Every structure is written in C-alpha cells, then in structure tokens.
C-alpha cells in the first residue's frame, strides 16, 4: 500500500516515489477523483482542487512513475460536455466556479491524456474507461449503472491477454469501445494540454 494526498503536488510526487521503490508496475489505473466541489477550493499549490486531483495528479504520476505496460484512466461520459475551450481557463481563475463543468473538463483532460499517450508511447497500452453512473460513494445510491461492469472493464484492460483487451488508444464503456468527444482525439488539443500541464507542474511528460 502507498498513501498520498493527490490535492498536494508534493505528496503526489512522494506517492510516485513510493511506487517506484516497490518496482516496475505491470499496470497503473488512474481511478482517484473528486466530483462536485462546492467551491474552487484552492489547494496549497494554488490550484482548484478538481484540477489538482483529477488532472494534475494523474499527469504527474504518469510522468514520475516508471513506465508500465498498461495505463488506464477513468473518464466519464460527462467529458462530452466539456467544450473545446476548456484550456483557456483550466484553473478557473477567471470564470465563476461551476462544479459540474470543472468535473467535465477534468475528464476531457484525462481522456485526451490517455489517447495522446497511446500515440506517443507505442510500447504502452493506454486507454480511457467510462465506468458509467454507478452506485459508489461518488455516484450515490440513486445511480442506475452496472457497478460490476464499471470495474470489470478496468481490470480486464489491466490484466487480460484477450486480443480485444490488448489494444491502445480506446475509450471504453462496459468492455465496448465507444467514440470519445472529438476534441479528446485532437492532436492540437493534446499538444496544448501537455504544454499547459507542464507549465503548471514543472514536469514535462513528452
């Protein structure tokens, strides 16, 4: 077990170090996130908490953990609502806070990250997964999705040697490839996102 607070850049870096001390991972699933933060909730590093946990942390962990065989990033169908302009004010310093929009944008970011890595790291299988609206602590008891299929898709992509699972650059829902939002596949957005995250973290991924 490794422990760290993903809203803190220092603790996220330390978490990566803890993982690397264990040894090279076969797969890393980036599953942690916050949902509807009631306010911008600035972290010690000056970032909106949603940005820090949902976008900056998986970016930092990807950059700092030894490259595994497989990477899985938890997305959401809400990433379709992000809009093409989500990078203009990625930190919500100029806009009035909108918790749902911030979450949607963060899920566009990690989906784009997964698809960008599939292109630039051909030796790594990198995919994004939409688990659906499932009855977890985040989703709440009213959620109507299939909890089991939500997590089985992640584990299947992480460990299966099925031909269908040993692919890269997919956006998955219940073991079926789906079409992500068009901007998630846009190479210009990939480049802009990587530049923005490198500037915010001081770490270059590629």
Q: Which residues are catalytic?
A: 103, 107
> CA-CA distance, 103 to 117, in Å (whole number)?
21
Structure tokens at 1: 């077990």
Whether 91 and 48 have beta carbons less than 8 Å apart is answered as yes
Residue 162 host element (H or E)? none
Which stretches of 87-184 are assigned E, i.e. beta strand?
A: 125-129, 171-173, 176-178
Residue 185's alpha-carbon distances to 26, 84, 114, 116, in angstroms, are 25, 12, 10, 8
Q: What is the residue whose two structure tokens read 């998986």?
A: 58
Q: How far apart are the first and last CA of the chain?
A: 28
Residue 202's alpha-carbon distances to 47, 83, 198, in angstroms, are 14, 26, 5
3-class DSSP assignment, residue 14: helix
């Amino acid at each position: 077990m490794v422990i760290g607070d993903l809203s803190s850049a220092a603790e996220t870096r330390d978490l990566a170090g803890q993982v690397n001390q264990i040894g090279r991972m076969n797969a890393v699933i980036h599953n942690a996130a916050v949902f509807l933060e009631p306010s911008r909730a600035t972290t010690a590093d000056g970032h909106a908490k949603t940005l820090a946990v949902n976008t900056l942390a998986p970016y930092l962990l990807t950059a700092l953990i030894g490259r595994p065989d497989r990477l899985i990033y938890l997305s959401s169908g809400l990433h379709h609502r992000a809009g093409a302009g989500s990078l203009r004010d990625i930190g919500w310093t100029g806009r009035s806070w909108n918790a749902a929009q911030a979450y949607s944008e963060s899920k566009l970011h990690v989906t784009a990250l997964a698809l960008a890595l599939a292109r630039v790291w051909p030796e790594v299988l990198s995919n994004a997964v939409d688990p659906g609206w499932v009855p977890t602590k985040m989703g709440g008891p009213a959620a109507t999705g299939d909890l089991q299929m939500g997590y089985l898709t992640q584990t299947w992509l992480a460990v299966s040697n099925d031909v269908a699972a040993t692919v890269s650059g997919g956006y998955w829902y219940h073991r079926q490839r789906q079409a992500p939002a068009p901007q998630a596949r846009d190479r210009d957005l990939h480049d802009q996102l990587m530049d923005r995250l490198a500037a915010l973290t001081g770490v270059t991924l590629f």
